[in-house]
Amino acid sequence: MTYRLSLLMAHCGNSGHQQSHRGRELLSRLAADQGVECAVEGWTPRGRKGPPVHPALASSDIACLSHRDDKVVAGLANCPVGIDLEHARPRHRERLGELLEWLPEPRVRQAILESDDPLAAFYRAWTLHEALYKLACIEGTPPAAALDTRLASLAPHGPIHAWQWQMDGWTLSICVRNSGLCITHGDDSPLINGLCVVESSFWGG
């Protein structure tokens, strides 16, 4: 069986309602690309716990959304997947030392400090924690909090495989258990440049 994840990223309004509606529009487009008609109003509403669900989708199909500021990313997969999108806050550069203390793994904190761009590295770590948390929630084993996950669980030393994209202050992380995941996106998507497998050796274990 080929495991797949189709992604779309788009601009949206800054309000939660606008982000949620735009995300569901993207999910309906992704479903249509696979020959499934999912009316936008058929998705479970914003605020419902868990990922969006649509009655027209097969039970094996997993929809996922993440949004921040004026961007939203939507994904449709045939396996459990966690995604997280974040936008860097310049003020966090001044608070980086404090923010690093939140991260649970000393080797990760050290790797961030030694990186060429510590703030960008912090967001790579942060979004991985969030994506791991969302994956665990979809699998039915939610940790108490996102920072109860561990980046040491990433392959090759752990069972989770991850991909990341980072550009112009934006960071996207994707976590799944399937190393052979086929990720597709629109030809005009910003994800066409820079989506890559996470090198877990950077994060330690």
3-state secondary structure of 64: strand
Cα–Cα distances in Å, from 7 out to 88, 124, 192?
21, 19, 11
- Spell out the per-residue pLDDT of the chain, length 205, in tens: 899 999 999 999 889 899 999 999 999 999 999 999 999 999 999 888 889 999 999 999 999 999 999 999 999 999 999 999 999 998 888 899 999 999 999 999 999 999 999 999 999 999 999 999 999 999 999 999 999 999 999 998 899 999 999 999 999 999 999 989 999 987 677 787 778 999 755 554 4
Cis peptide before 156 (omega within 30 of 0): yes
**Torsion angle, CA of 175/181/187/188, rounded to 10 degrees?**
0
User: How many angstroms separate the CA atoms of 54 and 40, rounded?
Assistant: 9
